Each structure stands twice: as structure tokens, then as C-alpha cells.
Amino acid sequence: MVDQLARPTDKVEVYWFSEHPNAYVRDEDLEKYEATRFLFPNSYFDPEKAHVLYNQYHEQYSLVDEVGFDGIMTNEHHTAYWCMKPSANIDAAIITKVTKRVKIAILGNVIAINDPVRMAEEIAMLDCYSGGRIISGFVRGSSIETLQAGIDPTENRSRFEEAHDLILKCWTTPGPFRFEGQHFHHRVVNPWVLPMQKPHPDIWFPGTGSPESVIWAAEHGYPYMNLQVIRGQTEWLKDIYIQTAREAGYTPGPGNFGGNVLVFCADTDEKAQEIGRTYMWHGKHRFKGPAEHNDPPGYRSRAAVDVIRKIPAGIGVRLGQRERTYEELQEAGSIAVGTPDTVIKKLTEILDSVAPGYLICYGNEGDMPYKDVMRSIELIGKEVIPALHEVKLRPYE
């Protein structure tokens, strides 16, 4: 069933993204623990430092809005030392108040572990706050999110799909009505707050490389956001989307696909390369832990496992990939750092090869100096984005 057709576009939209890292956490802190999601204790969280960081991140949002970005993307993670956002909706509420014009892409709410009716109400509330600027991203959440919520991993996908259906019904079906599903049961559903956008805010679906996620997004007509552009893999995922969309009865285009690239600008290539190395912050620790934490039995469906087995040689999904160096990630298109001219060249190559309608710039990581991040935002907004807007995206074949 195709629930949404993407708006046609031949020009890229550029979004800002930061995971609000706990920048003061050090490698030596993490090395003491065998699993850095479940076993790294929250005694390392410093509320005083977090207060300063949160306000810096909000000032970055305000500048992003001023200098010409098309949107801001926000997300959430749980039990994650590298992301101080356990609620994407709270962060989106802040964005609605510190910005005036950018779209706000919530990418996304982990609907498999939350009450869908409450999610529908909160997103509708944000859409009204923002004057209709919300893009609602729905995510299954990582296996860690599922486990920490006390949910059976084998139920994650069915919970996600049922929650998705109930949220859409909340937005499009007049209440009150009754809903009796496999996982969610409501005698009366009658959300009083409804979204400003009709029939509902645009829905995006992100993924880190699972072909099953691409297929689900394409079947519903939702733009798929590849959260780590990797040359070869990203093009392959886009081809899967195109094939699935055609089987579903429509022709996709750039408005159906997006990619996330780690982007940092400075006044010299040398300075950008030096600060950009911070993108490797804690890379070796981020998925540290036993296999049953990161990929528990039953989290992936049998269909997903079958698809992954058919992945062509040389192309891998994110989970299980070998660790790549800073230089290799730049070569693969995952990282673009340098002066505006250098970054324009690198990102234009991605636009030429992938033609994504949405380019997400992951612009802040670890302990990157605040003033340098603000300068990067300014350079991207005033010099890089205007050049990217001039690139005409080719239609999908």
C-alpha cells in the first residue's frame, strides 16, 4: 500500500544534524567497560556540563536557521553516551521556538516502544507549534532501544508497523474510534490535537543499510534516508528503492531518497581536516558489546536475513562492517571536510552519483570547539548551500 507520494524535486534540500554528544566523555572512560550501551554507567553524565552543551546546541540551531539551511534533523537514542537526546519531540519543540523558517525533520520517534496515540498527539502539537514545518520520521529503533524498553526483539517489527498504522489513523480518521490490535488496545481513541498539515505531515523512514528498511519505505512511498552515505552501498540501496517503487506502481525520483554525510567547513583545508578527525570520536566503542546486544535473535526478520545474504560482494550493511579509517571514509563519501570550495566539490560528486533530494549534514561531533562549529555552519549556509542549490538533480532511471 502506497501511503504517500514524495513531492517532485530537482533541487536538493540541505539539513543540519547533530546528535548532541556528551563531548566530555573520553576513550579512557569507555575502555573500562565491555559494553558501552548497557554497562557504561550514567554516573559519567555531568548535568552541569550538559546544561552548557544543550544551550550551545540550541544556539547552533538558531544560526542554522539564519544562514540558509533548508531544515534541521533531530533524532533520539537511549542509553547512549554519544547522544544526549532521549526525546526527539522535546528537541523538536525547542527547534520550533529558536527558528522561524527551517523544516524540522524528526528522524525519528521510536514508535515500536512508545504509545502510538501519544506520539500522534505530540507530533500534531509540534506541527501546530511550528506552523506546519514538521516532517515526521518513524523508526524501529536499534536493538538496544528495544532491549532497554523490555520488549521482545521478535515483536519489534510488528509493533512498529501496528504503531505506524494507528498514528496515521489518529491523524486521518475522525474520533472517537476503537482500536484493537495485536500489541495496542484502546477502547476510545479521540486525539484532540491534530496536525496543521493535511492529511498529515510528510513521513520519512531512515536506515543504516538494511535492505528490508528500504523496501518497507518504498512500498509506502516514504522517502528513505540513508544515515551513512557509503559509495557503492548507497547506490545499491537506491536501486532497491527504485525497483520496489516500480513494483508498487509509481516512479520514484530524488524526492524519495536522502543521505547523511559528515560535513565540516573551515577557512583552510588543513584546519578542517584537523577538526574533522573528531568524527572518529569513540568509533571503536560505539557498538562495543556482545552480539546479542547489537543484533539479538529475532530482531531481524527471516526475510531481512535472506536479503542480506544476497548482498553483492564488496557491499556491506553498517552492522558488521570492518572499521574504516578517517581517510577511507572520506574516499567513500561518508565524510566531507575542507574549505567551502573543497566541500562543494565533494558534495557535488554525491549529488551527481546518488541524486538525493535531501542531504543531511552531520555537522558536530565529540568535542569540536564551539566557535569552530559555528564558523562551519556559517560557511556551509552562506557558501556551500547556494552552490548545491544550483545543481540540477537527474531523474531516476
Question: Domains in the chain, start-ordered, CATH in brackets?
Answer: 13-389 (3.20.20.30)
Give the pLDDT score at 6: 76
Q: CA 205, 208, 214, 218: dihedral to nearest 10 degrees?
A: 30
Rounded Cα gap, residues 379 and 356, in angstroms: 22
Give the pLDDT score at 120: 98
Tally of residues, the chain: 397
Nearest to 357 by CA among 73, 9, 107: 9
Give the pLDDT score at 313: 54
Burial of 165 (0-12, 13-18, 19+ CB in 10 A): middle
Give the pLDDT score at 314: 55
Query: What percent of the chain lies above the pLDDT cut of 70?
Result: 92
Cβ within 8 Å of residue 390, ≥6 positions away: none
Range 238-245 average pLDDT = 96
Nearest to 69 by CA among 359, 347, 397, 325: 359
Give the pLDDT score at 145: 83
Q: Which pTM value belongs to this model?
A: 0.93
Give the least confident one: 10-19, 127-136, 306-315, 378-387.
Answer: 306-315
Range 310-338 average pLDDT = 76
